[in-house]
Amino acid sequence: MYYPSLWKGLLIGGAAALLITSETMQKGIMKCGVRVYKGIRGSVAELKEEWDDAKAEVMLEKKASK
């Protein structure tokens, strides 16, 4: 009998097992994860800086209008 879901699941599961157990793939996945984390962390820091700049600008405008 033909079970497309079964074959698809076996193929995906086998590929996942191969990727997870491969030391080279583990290192690659970790490096990628670190890059993503650093990118997100840098983006958050940049957003905080822009937020602080905008707040300072608003405060200056309020003081100037008084």
Residue 4's pLDDT is what?
Answer: 87
How far apart, in Å, are the Cα atoms of 28 and each of 1, 18, 23, 33, 34? 39, 13, 9, 9, 10
Domain ranges of the chain: 23-66
Q: How many CA atoms lie within 13 A of 23 on its CB side?
A: 0
- The DSSP code for 66 is -
Give the tens place of pLDDT for each residue, 19-47: 889 999 889 989 999 999 999 999 999 99
User: What is the residue-averaged pLDDT of the chain?
Assistant: 91
Label residue 1 by pLDDT band (50, 70, 90).
low
Q: Is the distance from CB of 20 to CB of 26 less than 8 angstroms?
A: yes
* pTM for the whole structure: 0.54
